Homo-oligomer: A and B are copies of this chain.
Amino acid sequence: MMFKTHTAREVNESLEGKDIFLAGWVHTLRDLGGKKFIVLRDGTGIVQLVVEKGDQAFHSAQELTQESVVRVKGTVKVDKRAPRGIEVKVSELSILSKAKAPLPLDVSDKVSADIDTRLRERVLDLRRLEMQAVMKIQSAAVKAFRQKLYARGFLEVFTPKIIASATEGGAALFPVIYFGREAFLAQSPQLYKELLAGSVERVFEVAPAWRAEESDTPYHLSEFVSMDVEAAFFDYNDVMELLEDLIKGMLDGVGSECSECLKQLNYELPKFEFPIPRITYRESIEILRKEGEDVKFGDDLSTPYLRVLNKALRKDLYFITDWPSSARPFYTKARSDDPTVSESFDLIYKSLEIVSGSTRNSSREVLEEALKQRGLNPQSFEFFLRWFDYGMPPHAGFGMGLSRVMLMLTGLSSVKDVVAFPRDKKRLTP
């Protein structure tokens, strides 16, 4: 059946006097005795409905509760007093689903709730205009990311998520019982995307990945969407240039498609410097020492250090390049002019790493040596290493955390906010 002729957003002055059908949720409800004002919400936005005493619809409207789902027929009327200057005078109203009252969470944002309540009542929370805006921005961001990559000849690929062994070594994996055998959930498509770059040259993937994160921080979840790129005949400089184009594309895409959503969030997209400023890891250490931090070559640049760096640099988006080789995974290529550092980078938004990338090792001997140096057994990586015997091109790539990029695109401060149904140590539902 045809539930509606128009969406809430489509109701505008050009429809004045027309009879239309709408369907959606009762966002708010105001009773003025002889008149009821209903703000109707659907996936596109909100529009005001008016039900007047004496109309048949008035009787049905008596029963209405917030978040009930209704279908209405009505006439479009321009009215400057209404939100958006337009309202719909309802002649017919049917309740498709009546919501219990009181609601466990206020969807119309008159009462704010803490994050634990919001995550518990997430299906209602996602109906809030703010969260709808977040979801739209996310969809637009991923769309823009892919469009730029298609235009540059990248193929979207799908790598396996159940893997036989711990790929990168070290990080905590989730075990899966696979037909009676032990297997694991992929913590990243790293090795598979490298192999695919060795087959079809330029690939990307947007897919879930898992890390058994013990800690409860605003930047970690145990399940996350990883946006991965890998390209043969690229080095880390090529990848950084590509990434600049992708970041620009995502900002432009969100900026043009989601201006209403950004207003809803009361957020303005940041204006970054392009090309994105680059400093080396060594330079970062020097700056930090000048700022009085007790940090030396080889140390990890944890969030507190990045905060100091962000302030000292006065840049909100910057690359830190040439990380110590020992601090990066075995597949990272060392610089030939100074093997203590690697052809690697992190892209930092304020004090948060949002992308990590590098030129990869493309020689079996170098990979074996790098594994040994990290206390890993090359034999356990034979499923990966053997392909390097059959023509593996130089290649480079990166992994980008979607929910972290979303913090940049929404101004929100926790990845739990931007992920529809986040998973962490204590959350497996809803």
Q: Which 10 A-B pairs have the closest CB atoms?
A: A43-B201, A3-B233, A126-B199, A99-B391, A67-B391, A164-B428, A139-B155, A139-B156, A69-B393, A160-B421
Cα separation A201 to B99 with both chains bound (whole Å): 17
Q: Does A42 contact B (CB under 8 A)?
A: yes
Known: A156-B142, A174-B177, A387-B123. A3 touches B394 (CB 8 A): yes
**16 A-B residue pairs with CB within 8 Å:** A43-B201, A69-B392, A100-B389, A104-B390, A123-B198, A124-B199, A131-B199, A135-B200, A143-B146, A161-B223, A164-B428, A175-B176, A175-B177, A176-B185, A196-B420, A208-B208
- Are A420 and B157 in contact (CB-based, < 8 A)? yes
Beyond A69-B392, A97-B388, A158-B402, 5 additional pairs, beta carbon < 8 A:
A97-B363, A98-B391, A100-B389, A160-B421, A192-B420
Chain B residue with the shortest CB-CB distance to A428? B164
Q: Does A12 contact B (CB under 8 A)?
A: no
> Which residues of B are found within 8 Å of A430, using beta-carbon distances?
195, 383
Q: Does A28 contact B (CB under 8 A)?
A: no
Which of B225, B387, B391 is in CB contact (< 8 Å) with A69? B391
How many A residues, CB 8 Å from partner? 97
Chain B residue with the shortest CB-CB distance to A68? B391
- Number of copies of this chain in the oligomer? 2
- Are A428 and B200 in contact (CB-based, < 8 A)? no
- Are B419 and A164 in contact (CB-based, < 8 A)? no
Would you give the shortest CB distance from A120 to chain B, in whole angstroms? Answer: 11
- Are A158 and B225 in contact (CB-based, < 8 A)? yes
Known: A142-B156, A153-B43, A423-B160. A392 touches B233 (CB 8 A): no
Q: Mark A380-409, 1 if CB is under 8 A from B, else 0.
A: 000100011111111000000010000000
Q: Does A212 contact B (CB under 8 A)?
A: yes
Cα separation A153 to B9 with both chains bound (whole Å): 11
Q: Does A312 contact B (CB under 8 A)?
A: no
Chain B residue with the shortest CB-CB distance to A199? B126
> Which residues of B are found within 8 Å of A235, using beta-carbon distances?
1
Q: Does A207 contact B (CB under 8 A)?
A: yes
- Are A390 and B100 in contact (CB-based, < 8 A)? yes
- Are B195 and A123 in contact (CB-based, < 8 A)? yes
Q: Mark A26-44, 1 if CB is under 8 A from B, else 0.
A: 1000000000000000111
> Which residues of B are found within 8 Å of A326, using beta-carbon distances?
none
Q: Mark A193-229, 1 if CB is under 8 A from B, else 0.
A: 0011011111000011010100000000011010000
- Are A199 and B428 in contact (CB-based, < 8 A)? no
A residues in contact (CB < 8 Å) with B:
1-4, 7, 23-26, 42-44, 67-69, 96-100, 103-104, 123-124, 126-127, 131-132, 135-136, 138-139, 142-143, 146, 150, 153, 155-164, 174-179, 181, 183, 185, 192, 195-196, 198-202, 207-208, 210, 212, 222-223, 225, 232-235, 237-238, 362-363, 383, 387-394, 402, 419-421, 423, 425, 428-430
> Which residues of B are found within 8 Å of A387, using beta-carbon distances?
123-124
Known: A158-B208, A207-B207, A393-B69. A199 touches B123 (CB 8 A): yes
Cα separation A136 to B154 with both chains bound (whole Å): 9
- Are A153 and B99 in contact (CB-based, < 8 A)? no
> Which residues of B are found within 8 Å of A222, using beta-carbon distances?
162, 178-179
> Which residues of B are found within 8 Å of A26, using beta-carbon distances?
391
- Are B162 and A174 in contact (CB-based, < 8 A)? yes
Would you give the shortest CB distance from A206 to chain B, in whole angstroms? Answer: 8
Cα separation A124 to B159 with both chains bound (whole Å): 16
Known: A97-B362, A181-B428. A393 touches B195 (CB 8 A): no
Known: A200-B132, A201-B42, A392-B97. A176 touches B176 (CB 8 A): yes
- Are B25 and A161 in contact (CB-based, < 8 A)? no
> Which residues of B are found within 8 Å of A425, using beta-carbon distances?
179
Which of B100, B159, B174, B423 is in CB contact (< 8 Å) with A420? B159
